[in-house]
């Protein structure tokens, strides 16, 4: 993601809302590459998974950091570190980590979540880099990373896309998946929408119909391919 001398994104991010179509503002790649990497982030329940599905349908290679984390919880060294920290109560019957038990154990515990992030974020970053490196030449790889900017992973990607939605909309969407207290807790651990917008090359405001998100995704792919052309 291009930055100016002050560390701010180079140019305004591409955005789309009810009132606006995709514009032609800059979204400069850091370098030309045969494989184009896009980091996909956004607020809780803003629609990141839906956006990832649209990217896949548009021909991109989709990756989910949550799936990567699930794989990491199967590694012996990660299992041992987590069990040493949280006890056998978070062990799964198959010898791995029971993620539901771990979520319950760490809910509301800022220090525990900080410890987990310190353990996992570097491993996730390395795994993402390896999977991008193994991608077929000429492909666009899109990686969903909810805490992308918080983890300092923006430099792992050529472009960053953020999916945003008003807090009340996200809270309503999340109500069927998690309690309001958990939503508020996790929301507080994320950067603000303003900060994500400032750190992204492309912004989509998800208060419109799915067809508009699909169009946004196609526009993003066209733009990054054009700007990354050798």
Question: CA–CA distance from 107 to each of 172, 185, 190 (Å)?
Answer: 20, 8, 15
Say whether pLDDT at 1 is over 60. Answer: no
**CATH class, 14-227 region:** alpha beta
Domain ranges (residues) in the chain: 14-227
Half-sphere exposure of 132 (CA within 13 A, CB side): 23
pLDDT digits (tens, 9 = 90+) for 75-113: 999 999 999 999 999 999 999 999 999 988 998 788 999
Give the Cα separation of 110 and 115 in Å (integer).
9
What is the chain written as a DSSP string?
Answer: --B-TTSSBSSPPEEE-SS----------SS--SSEEEEEEESTTSSHHHHHHHHHHTT-EEEEHHHHHHHHTTSHHHHHHHHHHH-GGGB-TTSSB-HHHHHHHHTT-HHHHHHHHHHHHHHHHHHHHHHHHTSPTT-EEEEE-TTTTTTT-GGGSSEEEEEE--HHHHHHHHTTTS-HHHHHHHHHTSPPHHHHHHT-SEEEE-SS-HHHHHHHHHHHHHHHHHHT--
Average pLDDT, the chain: 84
Residue 157: other Cβ atoms inside 10 A: 26
pLDDT of 178 reads: 55
Query: Of 4, 35, 54, which Cα lies nearest the Cα of 129?
Result: 35
pLDDT digits (tens, 9 = 90+) for 157-211: 999 999 999 988 888 888 765 556 677 777 888 999 999 999 999 999 998 677 8
Percent residues over pLDDT 70 in the chain:
82
pLDDT digits (tens, 9 = 90+) for 124-137: 999 999 999 999 99
pLDDT band at 230 (very low <50, low <70, confident <90, very high): low
Say whether pLDDT at 4 is over 50. Answer: no
Say whether pLDDT at 142 is over 90. Answer: yes
């Amino acid at each position: 993601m291009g930055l100016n001398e002050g560390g701010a994104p180079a140019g305004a991010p591409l955005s789309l809302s009810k009132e606006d179509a995709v514009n032609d503002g800059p979204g400069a790649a850091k370098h030309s590459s045969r494989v184009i990497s896009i980091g996909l982030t956004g607020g809780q329940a803003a629609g990141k998974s839906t956006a990832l599905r649209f990217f896949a349908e548009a021909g991109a290679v989709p990756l989910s950091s949550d799936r990567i984390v699930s794989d990491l919880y199967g590694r012996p060294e990660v299992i041992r570190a987590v069990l040493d920290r949280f006890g056998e109560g978070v062990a799964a019957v198959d010898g791995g980590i029971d993620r539901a038990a771990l979520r319950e154990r760490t809910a509301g515990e800022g220090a525990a979540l900080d410890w987990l992030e310190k353990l996992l974020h570097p491993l996730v970053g390395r795994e993402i880099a390896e999977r991008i490196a193994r991608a077929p030449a000429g492909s666009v790889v899109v990686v969903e990373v909810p805490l992308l900017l918080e983890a300092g992973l923006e430099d792992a990607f050529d472009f960053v896309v953020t999916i945003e939605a008003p807090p009340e909309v996200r809270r309503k969407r999340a109500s069927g998946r998690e309690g309001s207290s958990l939503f508020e807790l996790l929301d507080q651990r994320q950067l603000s929408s303003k900060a994500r917008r400032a750190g992204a090359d492309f912004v989509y405001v998800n208060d419109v119909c799915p067809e508009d998100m699909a169009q946004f995704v196609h526009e993003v792919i066209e733009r990054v391919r054009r700007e990354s052309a050798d």
